[in-house]
Amino acid sequence: MVVKIQGEKELYALYEDAKGMSLPCFIVNDAGLTQLPPGTTTALAIGPAPEDRVDRVTGELGLL
């Protein structure tokens, strides 16, 4: 599932929330092989984990 956030600051806050709940999570940085400069933060992956636990972090976010 892909959800929309307001920006990089919110992405890092969600990352900290997920880490605080001991959820598997990973910040994705672009390799720079297309349009974005290398190292540009592009996404946050959370899981695999039970849906109800992930929803505690992302449940209020709208779908992209």
pLDDT at 59: 94
pLDDT at 25: 98
pTM confidence score: 0.89
For the chain, the maximum distance between any two Cα atoms, rounded to a whole number of angstroms, is 36
pLDDT at 45: 98
How far apart, in whole angstroms, are the C-alpha atoms of residue 8 and residue 60? 17
Output the CA torsion sign for 41, 43, 49, 54: positive
pLDDT tens sequence across 35-49:
999 999 999 999 999
Structural domains in the chain, sorted by start: 8-58 (3.40.1490.10)
